[in-house]
Structure formats: C-alpha cells, structure tokens
Structure 1
C-alpha cells in the first residue's frame, strides 16, 4: 500500500524533485513553513509516514523499511532521482537512502539529525515513553512541545500550541506505532559510514535543541565529505518552524547553489 503523499510545485517529469520527510510525528504538514519557498524551485513530494496521520498500516521497526516507503512513493510517481530533506527521524531515512548502492538521492538536507542516537536523546525518549505508558496519551502529547520548541516561543505562541496539542491528541498515531518508531531511530547507527555519502549535504541544527545535542550535527558535518553546516543559536528541535526565515534562507541558498533553480 502506497502511503498518503502529495505532489505540488513544478510540473513535468523532468522537473527537479525534492522529497520532504518529517520526524517522529510523521506528518507532511510539518513542512508547511517551507512549501512556499520550495514549490518555486522543485516538484515537492510530501508524505505521511506509515502508521501516522492519513497513511494506514502499522509502523515499521527499521529505518531501512521506512526508506523503502519513500522509494515506493517515488516509483509510483515516476521519479528516478530526487533531493531529500529530513527532520530528525526523517533525516535518518535520508541517510539510509544516500548510503544505498545506486542511490537515487542527489542532495541531502539533514535537520537536527544524527548518525547514531546520543545517550542524552535516549534519556529524553525514555521520559516520553514513561509518560505514554504511565500517564497516557494526553500527557505524552502535552509534553511533546517541551522537546520541540524554545520556552519563549511557546509563551509567544500559546494559542497555536494549544491547537496543536488538541490535534495531536485527536489524531494520535497509537502507542505501538510510537514505540516501534522510537525503537527504530534508537537502533540506527551509520556513524562509521558517513564518509561514504557522496552527495552535497546541508546539515542544519540549533544550539538550543533539547532533544538532540547539536554536537550530533557537528559530527555529521565533519564526517560527510561534501557537507556544509548551518547552525542557529535559537530555534530548538523544530527550528524550521520556530525560525522559518533563517531556515528557509539557509536551505534556499544551498539548493540554488546546486543549480536547481533561481532564488525567489
């Protein structure tokens, strides 16, 4: 079963294509602040991960299987080659794809991602799992913004945050899916293979990310041969949402420098 996906932006089978993959939440709506920019440069493919939102089925327990889902979407759309932007877990999917023989990936944008899960991130996930198991779905969802956003941003966006929490509770992907997806990202480890990635890569991170230490991004940028680093002092784990102007400028500069379009 092909996952729910949407294609927008440039038309034509020869149009440059970018696939966007979100993190643990799995929703294509995560990338809303980037669509206006990207649809001017690319045919943009967004999708809901297996077992989340509008995609049915059960979550898969390996990042490689999640990457296979992307290849299935691309094949159905007749896409042979694509650029890829992934946030956190989505970034791991991009790394898996980029490391495959005859990889279809032309470039990578990795947002607060990692080559292996830092023990600090493990503590954060253990806390979230305990909330889910002991306090229930509402407590789990209400705690999620603490790991995504800066405190001042949450204060300034309180109404938006409450709407987001209500939506997250109403459309919760399910206990088993969450646990399966967390286990997959914790098991992922390609640190020793990062030097094999042969495509231009932009590593994006925020120093104040509570969930994933920005040093994981520094390690990616150091190890991937054609990597550039965009590092913000502010923005936390969901920096593309909290600092969209900075993020879009960094990503837009990287992508247009590859000769794939003109800056809007």
Structure 2
C-alpha cells in the first residue's frame, strides 16, 4: 500500500508521524508541522483512501490502516518513531500501541474512537450515503461537528472533505464500524497523552476520559471551548502539549 506523505524537518532528527482525521489529508496538520519540525523529522501522511494515497476498494479494517503505517516506517527505513493521531488517526494510534509497540516511542492521541463498533450501523449508513451521494452530502454536518460556530476559518478543511475519494471515505467508515480497541488498552506500554474537548460531538469526551484509567500511565488533557478538530482550531493550546509530551 502506497501512502502519500510529506516529510519536514532535519533528516537526522527523531521521527514523528502525524495521522489525520477521517475525511482529511496530511494538510490538516499545517498548524503543527512548522512548530514540530524545529525539533523533529515530521512525517504527515494520508490514510489509505485519502488524499494522494492509494484508494483500494473497501471495506478496509483497522488492521489495514495500522499495517499501512508500519509499512510506511519500513519504507522510510525508520526503526522507531513517535505518533500523533486525531480521530481516525487516533484509532490507528491505539492499534499501533497494541500491535506494533516495538516501533514506537510514545503516542499523542486526540479525540480517539476506541470502540466505534458500538455504533456500527451509523458507520454503515454513512458509508452507504457517501457511496451513493458523495462526500459533499456529509460535508456540512461534518464541519458542524468538527468546529464550534465561532470558528470560521474552515474553507481549507471543507475542500479536503470534498476532495476525499468517496470509496476511500466509505471504506474507512467501514473500518471504524468494525473496530473495538478496548480489550487491549491495559496492555499498552508506551507513554500516551490523551486529549479530548468539552465540545466534541463526534467522539464525545465521556468516551475518551475513561481511557486514561485503562491505559497504564496515560495522561489526560480536556480542552475547553473546543470541538473535534482541535489541532486545527486551537494550535496555541495543542502545540505546547505535543512538544511537552514528545520530549
């Protein structure tokens, strides 16, 4: 599987991978890349089915999405990296922490869905809608969940959603609809930073907060007056937390 990625920062610096949200590309990390790249080799990638990555026919699984990231490390000839992921990227991070722990130093996981299979029918319905009507049919509702009304700088993110291949988006919905990462949380050994927000209606904070007690040693931050795509809307809050955790 060929994942599209952009690498920024010193070639000999520690590597940090950035995994995006469902319906977004590596470009959503623009508010973080320049800051992180002063200290790290930052590799922001597009999940399969997104951006300029390959778009195989679905359904996909979380094993597929996580395995793609391990394969990317192999392609980059990187033995170990740290990982930052939001939303779908956060779920992939939880999978990596459980299934490829030897390849990662630490994780920062923002608004991660740990058991999206609990709402399997919703994901199946959304996949069917996007296959039938395109991503434009879900864009306005998605932006309404991702940002509070007062945040208006959404045009680039809107375009990412509109440009996401319909099959890639739908197949990733199906991956989420078959994913339950709760059973393996207690086995995670890497340092984990969990971030949620008080206004997230996509992955509500009450589904993220309990994870901090289930992942050994996890550190939890709850961001106030923010919605789902908090990396994009609140980089002034998120970036210092990432720098502190990544070390």
Unaligned runs of 5+ in 1: 257-264
Please list every run of at least 4 consecutive aligned residues from structure 1 whose deviation after the TM superposition is greater than 3 angstroms: 121-137
State whether structure 2 residue 150 is matched by structure 1 residue 152: yes
Unaligned runs of 5+ in 2: none
Mapping of 1:246-257 within 5 angstroms? 246-256=237-247
Shift of 1:103: 2.5
CA spacing shift, 1:235–1:193, aligned 2, 3 Å: same
Q: Which residue of 2 aligns with 1:214?
A: 205
State whether structure 2 residue 161 is matched by structure 1 residue 168: yes
Q: Which residue of 2 aligns with 1:184?
A: 175
Q: TM-score, normalised by structure 1?
A: 0.84
Q: Which residue of 1 aligns with 2:87?
A: 88
Q: TM-score, normalised by structure 2?
A: 0.90
Aligned length: 246
Shift of 1:20: 0.6
CA spacing shift, 1:100–1:131, aligned 2, 3 Å: closer
CA spacing shift, 1:163–1:69, aligned 2, 3 Å: closer
Aligned partners of 1:118 and 1:244: how far apart in 2?
Answer: 30
CA spacing shift, 1:223–1:127, aligned 2, 3 Å: same
Mapping of 1:4-23 within 5 angstroms? 4-12=4-12, 15-23=13-21
RMSD across aligned C-alpha pairs, in angstroms?
Answer: 2.3
Mapping of 1:1-264 within 5 angstroms? 1-12=1-12, 15-58=13-56, 61-100=60-99, 103-117=102-116, 119=118, 125=123, 128-129=126-127, 132=130, 136-153=134-151, 157=152, 160-162=153-155, 164-166=157-159, 168-169=161-162, 171-174=163-166, 176-256=167-247
